[in-house]
Amino acid sequence: MGGPLPGFAAEIVLRNRSRSTCLLSGWPGLTFFGDATLYICTTADPPGCKSGPVSTSGTRPFKVSRSAATVPPAVLLTPGQTTSFVLHADDQCPGPGAPYGVDIRLPGSSRALTLVPGPLLSPCNEKLVVTAFGAAA
């Protein structure tokens, strides 16, 4: 009891919300932050107790490596179209450990997209693999 659980995968879908076509190729840059563990106030807590995440900031030390795709596909997204990438790990640990959110950096963009809440993942060894945009897991 309390040992590693089977692996997991989380698909992240991106939609082109601009009015112009964009080209994506390669892998996303990912920075995980905060802690998804929630604190629930009880009657024993002092007045003014606030329920919520333990932390919504502070980077997490997840190590993200690229999948073994030799050449990532070029994905042409017209307005409204979507593409995705997949995060996966060989195992996950039960209990708290998932990040609060993730900043996603697209190649050639200086601004990160923030996903809150982030995917509920908690790899035991803090190692994840990410696929390229538009690549199968």
Query: What pLDDT tens digit does each residue of the chain (137 aa) get?
Result: 455 556 788 899 999 999 999 999 999 999 999 988 877 888 888 888 878 778 888 898 889 999 886 688 899 999 999 999 999 888 877 766 788 999 999 998 889 999 998 887 888 888 899 999 998 65
Q: What is the pLDDT of residue 136?
A: 65
Q: What is the pLDDT of residue 103?
A: 96
d(CA 93, CA 47): 34
Measured CA distances, 27 to 5, 112, 129 (Å): 27, 14, 11
Could you tell me which residues come within 8 angstroms of residue 112 by beta carbon, excluding any fewer than 6 positions away?
A: 29, 31, 103, 104, 105
State pTM to two decimals.
0.81
Q: Could you tell me if 38 and 53 are in contact, meaning their C-beta atoms sit under 8 angstroms apart?
A: yes
Which residue in this structure is represented by tokens 């333990």? 54
Query: How is the chain split into domains, by residue range?
Result: 5-130
Q: What is the pLDDT of residue 19?
A: 96
Q: What is the pLDDT of residue 50?
A: 78
